[in-house]
Amino acid sequence: MRIGIANESPQEIAAFRQLLERSGHQIAWVAVGGQEAVMRCARDRPDLVLLELHMSTMNGITTTGRIMRESPCPILITTAALDSSFAEVFEALGAGALDVAHAPVPGCAEIKNSPAAFLTKLERLARLLRPAAAEPGLANYTPKPTLRQATPLVVIGCSAGGPAAVATVLGGLPPEFPAGIIVVQHLDEQFASGLATWLNQRSRLPVRVAREGDRPTPGLVQLANATDHLVLLNEDTLGYQVNPRGMAYRPSIDVFYESVVRHWPGQVLGVLLTGMGHDGAAGLKALRDAGHHTLVQDQASCAVYGMPKAAASLNAAAEILPLERIAPRLRQRLQQPQP
């Protein structure tokens, strides 16, 4: 990949440069500070920007927002102080950053800060950013309608820009919301509990990480919490599975949606929000083909119009709505009698 580096630390810039060159990546440019990064992206968009979260001239949150508005390209937020910066991380992800990683520390024995862990993250992002291709496990799938009387379920998939979009949707739902809500956000396991805490401050519904054996519950938001895929194991039980291994992103929205079509016996409302790539589009189409109602965030309100665009191109969306209209539409659909 051609990678841009935006950082104010000469030591960190040198470490990134050495690591990237040694691993075969090409350095497109180096920007000292957020303002220069915005200018560099406007002149030469790389495949990925490594953007330091904490910068004095323009922080990573503001820089991310500017880049995604003016010259959209994939952004990986990096910082050595990640464990104490969860609130800022989710703000940056909400502004459109694709992912976040611990800045690698040469010779570090701690796995999360190791160069090897950072390079693994880059390889996963490279796979995600390749042109869309059929994902394993979905190509030969034939959905079967299973609309029977049961608790309604809302399933939400999102990636870049997702935290802020999910917060908007949840903020528009009442405490007595009659459906269970499952959210699959592209995010490493180490950040899931922090995201749940962050969303709890913005939602009238309680938000929890989903654990093995949990059940979807009316009025409760459950968040995917692993690098394995969250799935419905049967008609009322959540769990995690390793396969399919070849998915570009883990947890996969497609894999979860497919399991919902296979197992959930009642009404499902499928929602696909802002995100880069195409994960969730095929799964949302399976939901619609099975007779469930599907909603997709529109281009104007998306931080990144990738996953919703892919869903629209597959005719997976029964409705394409501005973000602020999704929560009211969910409430309205749940008040309508089901066939």
Active site residues: 159, 186, 279
The structure tokens 């394995």 sit at 228
Beta bridge partners of 153: 180, 268
DSSP 160: T
Which amino acid appears at position 255 of this protein? V
Name the strands in the sheet holding 48-52, side by side, starting at the edge strand that comes first in the sequence: 26-31, 2-6, 48-52, 75-79, 99-102
C-beta neighbour count of 150 within 10 angstroms: 15
**Left if phi > 0, otherwise alpha if psi is -120 to 50, otherwise beta: which for 198?**
alpha
CA distance 26 to 4: 9
Residue closest to 168 by CA, chosen among 280, 69, 273, 308: 273
Distances (CA, A) of 192 to 71, 161, 229: 29, 15, 14
The structure tokens 């440019």 sit at 29
The structure tokens 């630390």 sit at 9
Looking at the chain, how many residues does it have? 339
CA distance 33 to 30: 9
339 and 147 Cβ atoms separated by less than 8 Å: yes
Task: Give me the numbers of helices (H) and strands (E) for the chain, helices first please.
Answer: 11, 14
Beta bridge partners of 89: none
Cα dihedral sign for 87, 93, 99, 104?
negative
